[in-house]
Structure 1
Amino acid sequence: MSSLDGPEHTPVPPPILNPAGGANQVRVRAYNERLVLSLVRLYGALSKADIARRSGLSAQTVSVIMRVLEKEGLLSRGAPVRGRVGQPSIPMHLNPDAVYSFGLKIGRRSADLVLMDFVGRIRMQLHQTYAYPLPDEILAFVTSGIEEIESRLDDKQRSRIAGLGIAAPFELWNWAEEVGAPPGAMEVWRDVDLQADIAARVSHPVFLQNDATSACGAELVFGVGPSYPDFVYFFIGSFIGGGIVLNSAIFSGRTGTAGAIGPLPVRDRNGETKQLLEIASIFVLENMLRERGIDPEPLWYSADDWVDFGEPMEVWIQDSAKALAQAIVAAASIVDFSAAVIDGGFPDWVRSRMVQATIDEAAKLDLQGVVMPEIIEGAVGAQARAIGGASLPIFSRYLTDQNVLFKEIDHAEGT
């Protein structure tokens, strides 16, 4: 199980009228049902009056829709809230057991398959490590993993699975040297249509998105997103990636690569200009450990299994923090983000050290003319990529605010 409760932040007051609005015509009832579910997801438990006010739908329409959604098990009643006058209001919230979804994270060192419920909690998960990813191994892991997890569910639970969402890096073949793969071993990925290959082997709809973008979407939906409508996001995996959130939605840009913060130019401790990913990535820590004769394999296991490697880990955290601080200043010089969110495939205690070190390093930089965002920890954690992937089928099938997450792409290894 994974808790997604993050730190408390001062909430941004939500608008009263949802800009998507609603319509009372019978032909768009399905849209209005999605709208109601989206509002409850965004704002938490809401009464009929709250939903009518925020959606623009009539009270009668909302009443009908909520009865249908409650009958279908998608909404559940909360305890009555008594006001000063009139009947008590009944807040309605999403039923966690109403919908499940699979999320597959494909990393450079490991893969994770999770079963997530309707409110973003991980119910089951499987983990596999490898020296480097190969398509046949990934296909075997996901097909056998889905069979194993579904064998633990009853018929009713299996019928509630919305699909499988994949969070995968782009152009895996480009990083063969950094992950230590033999020459040519990763070239096989050039001809792989991951989404189609997996869809041919499983019985659920399959969706696909970049892994770092998926993590950013998970943070937006299940993490600090409700408190920060605009933020730049950094996820430190084997290679650092990230995303941009503007007006409470993922901004993907003209080509879909906006927020790919890895190539940002920064200076290392020697004053040499490098890309951010060459400093603030876990593969750099791996190399540091090898240079000191320390086995880096514990980094590939579950984030909970990390140990404090002492001096090399501290050097890596400090170097990464210096680079992250420069990247945040550069981003804040272009967009006045309310927050810079840092998370990664590591334990909470590593994240806390990384964030504090970044705050300290940012204070040393020339900030004249820069409105700095609040530098904060991500709230979702190491499984953000898998959770973001698992969100794709749920948003596609049940919610209207699909642009809050991200547009589906056609090919994991697209150019």
Structure 2
Amino acid sequence: MSFVEQQPIQKAADPSGGANQVRVRAYNERLVLSLVRRHGSLPKSEIAKRSGLTPQTVSVIMRSLEKDGLLLKGTPQKGKVGQPSVPMSLKPDGAYSVGLKIGRRSADLVLVDFLGRELGKLTSTYQYPLPQDILKFADAGIKQLCQHFSSKQRSRISGIGVSMPFELWNWAEKINAPQNEMDAWRNFDFKVELSSLFSYPIFIQNDATAACGAELVFGHGLELSDFVYFFIGTFVGGGIVLNHSVYSGRTGNAGVFGPMPAIDENGKITTLIDHASIFTLEKKLQSEGIDRSPLWHSAKAWDGLGIFLDDWIENTARHLARAIVASCAVIDFEAAIIDGAFPSQIRHRIVEAIKIELESLDTRGLNSPNVLEGIVGHNARVIGGACQPLLSKFLLNQNVLFKEMT
């Protein structure tokens, strides 16, 4: 089934439905863990104020989470009055997660701890991705990353999060891949095949949406409640964050952005993919007889591309500025965040060029968002994949608003 095929409308759960004790406890535990993650560390009194839970309830939850090895007790902090407060933080080895990014030119595997810190990473590059090759890489790579784990550490692996482009077979022409070989993805259920190799829960998400999730959990999401996010890879994509939560939409394609209509210099209607993607720079280099492999073999090796890179940055910024304005005309975003599979200095140049382009556009009636560089960087897609099991098992769906202090 196509990922963008119309899905039957599901009946929403009755919002008046109650919650039993187990569900309430699980919700409150996730709420506490989410607050601690977002703020780094918090004492019991602060958690009670921010969550609306009673101090007694928070004490019980924190003792339980500490016993389970998920929270770590800090050094008592003396205040002006009363007992010293004890800040609690996430215990780094309380949980682990594996991320797998399947890209058009390379695949990455990463093992992270509960704080999202990278414990190991592997990369495989290729001309184009084939399902069986990716599966072999995942099988051998995950075993290699976890080979020194004890049985206790293995038991704390929350799952494997896969970030990948939807409908890979539709992009064969643009990445110069044989259509008959890319068609192998059409009926290949990667989740089922990976589940046959590992007993951990498997999560699948669009790669750019996963990158957006990484920025939410480990980047600007710590300070922003909503933003529109663009990730420039082989093809441009992105995501939407509302109320501290990634909004993926009914079929998981919200914020994809690549198919967004764009107008080229001749007035022809094209798509954002055709103007703000690395493959357009790759095509130009190929036509000029310049080695293009550094673009997707190494995010650091972009030196020496000269005027071709300058032109690409200018064109990319022009079209992203228009896409930002179009997005903000629908939702009043606080910020627009730009990241991609390139060196940090390239990201900086694109963001500065976007700010200049925005000044030339008619934005009357709109509150122009802050345009910011992504914090997570070129690894955002694989880190976003690794986020999925942790979010699913431990953290709160933050569409349910936190009762935050102002």
Report matched runs for 1:397-408 at 5 Å.
397-401=393-397
Name the CA distance, whole Å, in 2 between partners of 1:141 and 1:335. Answer: 40
Q: Which consecutive residues of structure 1, in runs of 5 or more, have no partner in the other structure?
A: 1-22, 405-415
In the alignment, is the contact (CA less than 8 A) between 1:395 and 1:402 conserved in 2?
Answer: no
Are residue 42 (structure 1) and residue 38 (structure 2) matched? yes
Amino acid across the alignment from 1:220: L
Q: Which residue of 1 aligns with 2:90?
A: 94
Q: Secondary structure at the match of 2:300?
A: helix
Q: Percent identity?
A: 57
Say which of 365, 371, 375 aligns to 1:369.
365
Q: Which residue of 2 aligns with 1:353?
A: 349
Q: Which residue of 2 aligns with 1:167?
A: 163
Amino acid across the alignment from 1:262: G
Q: Secondary structure at the match of 2:329?
A: helix
Q: Secondary structure at the match of 2:94?
A: coil
Name the CA distance, whole Å, in 2 between partners of 1:401 and 1:328. Answer: 26
Are residue 328 (structure 1) and residue 328 (structure 2) matched? no
Amino acid across the alignment from 2:303: V
In the alignment, is the contact (CA less than 8 A) between 2:244 and 2:398 conserved in 1?
Answer: no
Q: Secondary structure at the match of 2:215?
A: helix
Q: Secondary structure at the match of 2:92?
A: coil
Amino acid across the alignment from 2:334: S
Aligned Cα RMSD in Å?
1.9
Name the CA distance, whole Å, in 2 between partners of 1:83 and 1:270. Answer: 67
Q: Which residue of 2 aligns with 1:395?
A: 391
Post-superposition offset of 1:242: 0.7
Say which of 207, 215, 220 aligns to 1:219.
215
Report matched runs for 1:285-300 at 5 Å.
285-300=281-296
Are residue 339 (structure 1) and residue 312 (structure 2) matched? no
Report matched runs for 1:131-280 at 5 Å.
131-280=127-276
Name the CA distance, whole Å, in 2 between partners of 1:55 and 1:237. Answer: 38
Are residue 301 (structure 1) and residue 297 (structure 2) matched? yes
Deviates more, 1:239-248 or 1:134-143: 239-248
Name the CA distance, whole Å, in 2 between partners of 1:230 and 1:27. Answer: 27
Post-superposition offset of 1:402: 6.7
Q: Which residue of 1 aligns with 2:80?
A: 84
Name the CA distance, whole Å, in 2 between partners of 1:168 and 1:312. Answer: 28
Post-superposition offset of 1:81: 1.9
Amino acid across the alignment from 1:50: E
In the alignment, is the contact (CA less than 8 A) between 2:96 and 2:157 conserved in 1?
Answer: yes
In the alignment, is the contact (CA less than 8 A) between 1:38 and 1:401 conserved in 2?
Answer: no
Deviates more, 1:323-332 or 1:99-108: 323-332
Q: Secondary structure at the match of 2:93?
A: coil
TM-score by length of 2: 0.90
Post-superposition offset of 1:129: 0.4
Q: Which residue of 1 aligns with 2:307?
A: 311
Change (3 A) 1:69 1:308: farther
Amino acid across the alignment from 2:313: I
Post-superposition offset of 1:156: 3.0
Post-superposition offset of 1:52: 1.6
Are residue 118 (structure 1) and residue 94 (structure 2) matched? no
Change (3 A) 1:380 1:300: same
Change (3 A) 1:348 1:75: same
Post-superposition offset of 1:298: 0.9
- What do residues 32-85 of structure 1 show as CA deviations (whole Å, max 9, x unaligned)? 322211221123211111112222222222212212222222111222222111
